[in-house]
Amino acid sequence: MRVTLLEVQKFKDRGERIPMVTAYDYTSAQIADRAGVPLILVGDSLGMVVLGLTSTVPVTLDEMVHHTRAVVRGSQRALVIGDLPFLTYTNVDQAIQSAGRLMQEAGAQAVKVEGGAATAPVIERLVSLGIPVMGHIGFTPQSVNQIGTRVQGRSAEAAAQLISDALAVEAAGAFAIVLELLPTPLARTITDRLRIPTIGIGAGVGCAGQVQVWHDLLGLYSDFLPRHAQRYLNLSELIGSALLRYATDVRDGTFPTAAQSSSMDEATLREALELVERMDSTQR
């Protein structure tokens, strides 16, 4: 049985902080699920960390469906949230089609959309149709070409707008909201004013939960670590040195050993060679 929306709300009501992590494939979903992470986001950040793109803008719905399907297969307990990519929820009808694909074809239990008050009508309609929605405000990566990658809400006007965006997303029926790159006191204020949980990334410790990108957390995306990320492992280094040992063993002929190989008795092999010779002679 997967984590339910009710349980997600209870985490906040009981003051239990909520960990969320991104995952993009079967194996990582399995690891996150077995570690007891209750929320897995199939983020469109896969554009950068899996597909090598420079932003989330070119990520397609087909790609999201493909990766979300694998994450759903790899997890049993976590609630899987699929990101709706750029320009796939510009109006209510399009959003229903797009979210429908993530729910029906990929098996996601919820979708995430970026935007505040302007996205509220889309959220409201999806929720009315039984599609759980997570909101996302602050730095919204799909708008990177418009807003850059700065911390958002630093001025009084911008902060006020974000507070009212968060309230609009909640009023529209979202079950949780990501707050990305906000000053800690603003994120804490939003968290206190909302009933639903806030999930922070670069928004300080006052949020109801935190989300991190798999590759940042585990040191898989070696060239760049955003300021808001904490590396818990240097997997790139570990994998690199394992591959170096493997390549050396192959070159030296020390891999594979008998343990990774199958034997065959000499007589059978001799018999096979005699058969080949006979086949050759009948073909001549």
> Which residue, 111 or 178, has its beta carbon nearer to ligand KIV?
178
Q: Is 198 in the site for ligand KIV (CB under 6 A)?
A: no
HSE-CB at 26 with a 13 A cutoff on CA atoms is 4
Figure out which of the listed residues 23, 70, 213, 217 binds ligand KIV, where binding follows CB under 6 A. Answer: 213
Residue nearest to ligand KIV (CB): 43
8 in Cβ contact with 14 (< 8 Å): no
Q: Is 142 in the site for ligand KIV (CB under 6 A)?
A: no
> Closest distance between ligand KIV and the C-beta of residue 149, in Å?
12
Q: 4 in helix, strand or coil?
A: coil
What is the Cα–Cα distance from 13 to 30, expressed in whole angstroms? Answer: 28
Considering 114, 124, 170, 180, which one is annotated as catalytic? Answer: 180
> Closest distance between ligand KIV and the C-beta of residue 77, in Å?
20
> Which residue, 102 or 253, has its beta carbon nearer to ligand KIV?
102
Helix residue spans in the chain (DSSP H):
5-13, 26-34, 46-49, 61-74, 92-100, 120-128, 144-147, 156-171, 184-193, 214-218, 235-252, 266-283
What is the Cα–Cα distance from 277 to 10, expressed in whole angstroms? Answer: 75
> Closest distance between ligand KIV and the C-beta of residue 102, in Å?
13
Interaction pattern, residues 39-68, with ligand KIV; x per rule: CB under 6 A: --x-xxx-----------------------
Write out the two tokens for 205.
């410790």
169 in Cβ contact with 135 (< 8 Å): yes
Phi, psi angle pair for 22, to nearest 5°: -85, 155
What is the Cα–Cα distance from 161 to 239, expressed in whole angstroms? Answer: 44
Q: 264 in helix, strand or coil?
A: coil
Sign of torsion over alpha carbons 248, 249, 251, 252: positive
180 tagged catalytic: yes
> Closest distance between ligand KIV and the C-beta of residue 267, in Å?
60
> Closest distance between ligand KIV and the C-beta of residue 198, in Å?
12
Interaction pattern, residues 252-281, with ligand KIV; x per rule: CB under 6 A: ------------------------------
Interaction pattern, residues 88-117, with ligand KIV; x per rule: CB under 6 A: ------------------------------
Write out the two tokens for 276.
């080949």
Q: Is 178 in the site for ligand KIV (CB under 6 A)?
A: yes
Pairing mode, if any, of strands 79-83 and 39-42?
parallel
Q: Is 83 in the site for ligand KIV (CB under 6 A)?
A: yes
> Which residue, 113 or 168, has its beta carbon nearer to ligand KIV?
113
The catalytic residues are 180
Binding interface with ligand KIV (CB under 6 A): 22, 41, 43-45, 83, 136, 178, 180, 201, 211, 213
